Chain A
Amino acid sequence: MNTNYKKHILDHYRNPHNFTKIDNPDYSLSATNPLCGDNIKIYLKLENDKISEVGFQGEGCAISIASTSIVTDFIKGKTIKQIKKINEEKVLQLLGTDIHPSRMNCALLPLEALNGILN
């Protein structure tokens, strides 16, 4: 079998980091991918303008769950201003694997959720 499902992607999928609900979050950000049925919710808590706690819950394919796990790791300790700067390129770089065009929405699901900060 040919696969781009690298070990770290599968590790994040099997044991996603930050996979927990956070009570009284400052931000609760949802994103869904109706095509796949993926849905996630990211919770953020701020302290001195920085992310002090982050968690997420949801269900989805390996790519979307691994991506959310990796992105939530990355945003810990960042400011809202820094989070707003995260773009597609950055998420793909963090994922560190080739993403097929048809799976791009899965990979970018956490970014879609984080864009909720803008609203």
Chain B
Amino acid sequence: MLHNSCMINVKAIRKDFPIFSHHPGLVYLDSAATSLKPQSVIDAQNKYLSQHSTNVKRGLYPLSEKTTKAVEQSRSKTASFIGGKPDEIIFTKNTTESLNLLAYVLEDKIFAKDSEIVTTIMEHHSNFVPWQQVAQREDAKFKIMKIDSEGKLNLDDLRKAVTKKTKIFALTYASNAIGTINDLKKIAQIVRKNNKDCLIIVDGAQGVPHLGIDISELDIDFLAFSAHKMLGPTGLGILWGKKTLLNELKPFMFGGEMIKTVKEDKSTFAETPHKFEAGTPPIGEIISFKESLDYIEQIGYKSIRNHELNLIKYITQQLNKSFQSKVTILGPQKAEERCGLLSFTINNIHPHDIGELLGKDNICIRAGHHCTMPLHNHLGIAASTRVSFNVYNDKDDIDQVILVLKEVIELFDK
């Protein structure tokens, strides 16, 4: 991998991702769904499986000790990567499980009569439905903040939405559908001013991989994100929480690895974070995730952001130039205000038709509602077409999308 401090050498980077040698000519623009994996991540997982595929904690022999050490090193790396502490990092299956875990353990602790939950219309279903369901079960008020015409939250609305009765404020760091980046620092300050006890829960699935995060600078309580969207393996999610809060919460699942003592009539549980990690974890995935974080750090978020901004600006320019009034770009119009993705609609051509026709030319994009049905309803559209970037994309990828899109439009306009 070769690159200087700010420019990314895409050609060199692609050599690190073996999928490109298996599929020459692949145009992969669906990293918001899942990112591709570099060789170092694959090697680390293979190494665990082939050289020391033992369980964690239980074994008193060197191979198991090695595995336990590698898992805990990955936990430490994950913590330092986001500015947290190792014992605040809980390994889960994915962002969805992290958020559901929270919804489950918080429900009995905090709900009282007249409680409120506040969220936004731009949330992914995984940061919307769990809270909607808790609200329904507990008869709490479920408040959904709307967005302006550029897909942004109005901070005055936030000041009104969060009250003394608000127990939970659930918000995405960056929208997976329209790319809006939320200013977590400013938003957390507003929430705290209105209600210092309100729990601030952040879905970092899109924001963390593309923008990075330093939770030591943010007054939030919980953060959820997934390894597979940040060049890491599938099957691994992360839940970070403030230690004091995690200590107060009861376990979510019971079984192996999470107990201290078990007697016939009662059990006591391990300390945080282990009390939330029942059963054998995805060991190879946890170990290889450390390699993903190393890979990202080696490139650096400054370069990643710079690279993705250039691609966002370029595709915006090309879409507008090529299709003019036929294309509608959703979300913030300024590149700096969006995460590394862009969604659009073209005339009356259904995104699934666009997606299939691009797919036949080896171009992978996303078409549909991107698990944000309330947002698409709010926008008055059934679906949209999304392109999302990562370090292995370049302007040629965008040129190919534009080229085939022209043919698609021609086909439908005939």
Contact = CB atoms under 8 A, between A and B. Distances in A.
Given A36-B382, A37-B376, A37-B383, A106 B411 contact: no
A69 to B, nearest CB: 15
Contact count band on B: 20 to 34
A1 B383 contact: no
Nearest to A64: B350
A55 B199 CA distance: 53
Contact of B369 (A2, A37, A62): A37
A3 B352 contact: no
Interface in B265-302: none
B350 A103 contact: no
Interface in A35-60: 35-38, 59-60
Contacts of A34: 373
Interface in A1-17: 1-5, 10, 13-14
B357 A10 contact: no
Contacts of A13: 412
Interface in A81-119: 100, 102-103, 106
B382 A38 contact: yes
Given A1-B404, A36-B382, A60-B350, A10 B412 contact: yes
Nearest to A4: B360
A35 B414 contact: no
A80 interface: no
A4 B383 CA distance: 22
Contact of B411 (A1, A36, A38, A59): A1
Contacts of B357: 1, 3, 5
A1 B407 contact: yes
A63 interface: yes
Contacts of B369: 35, 37
A88 to B, nearest CB: 19
B350 A61 contact: yes
Interface in B372-395: 373, 376, 381-383
Given A1-B361, A5-B411, A36-B382, A103 B352 contact: yes
B350 A3 contact: no
Given A3-B411, A37-B381, 6 more contacts: A1-B408, A2-B360, A5-B411, A36-B382, A37-B376, A38-B350
Nearest to B377: A37
Given A5-B411, A36-B368, A62 B353 contact: yes
Contact of B382 (A4, A10, A37, A102): A37
A36 B360 contact: no
A63 to B, nearest CB: 7
A3 B360 contact: yes
Contact of A106 (B352, B381, B404): B352
Nearest to B367: A36
Nearest to B404: A1
Nearest to B352: A61
B397 interface: no
B356 interface: yes
Contact of A10 (B350, B381, B411): B411
Most chain-A CB neighbours within 10 Å: which of B368, B381, B382? B382
Interface string B351-368: 011001100110000001
A95 to B, nearest CB: 14
A36 B383 contact: yes
A106 to B, nearest CB: 7
Nearest to B350: A61
B105 to A, nearest CB: 30
B360 to A, nearest CB: 4
B356 A100 contact: yes
A12 to B, nearest CB: 13
Contacts of B350: 36, 38, 60-62
Given A62-B350, A103-B352, A35 B368 contact: yes
B361 to A, nearest CB: 6
The listed residue with most B CB atoms (<10 A of its CB), out of A1, A4, A14, A36, is A1
A63 B353 contact: yes
8 contacts: A1-B357, A1-B361, A5-B411, A14-B414, A59-B382, A62-B353, A62-B412, A103-B352
A2 B373 CA distance: 30
A34 B381 CA distance: 12
Contacts of B404: 1
Given A10-B411, A34-B373, A61 B353 contact: yes
Contacts of A36: 350, 352, 368, 382-383
A2 B361 contact: yes
Contact of A1 (B360, B373, B381): B360
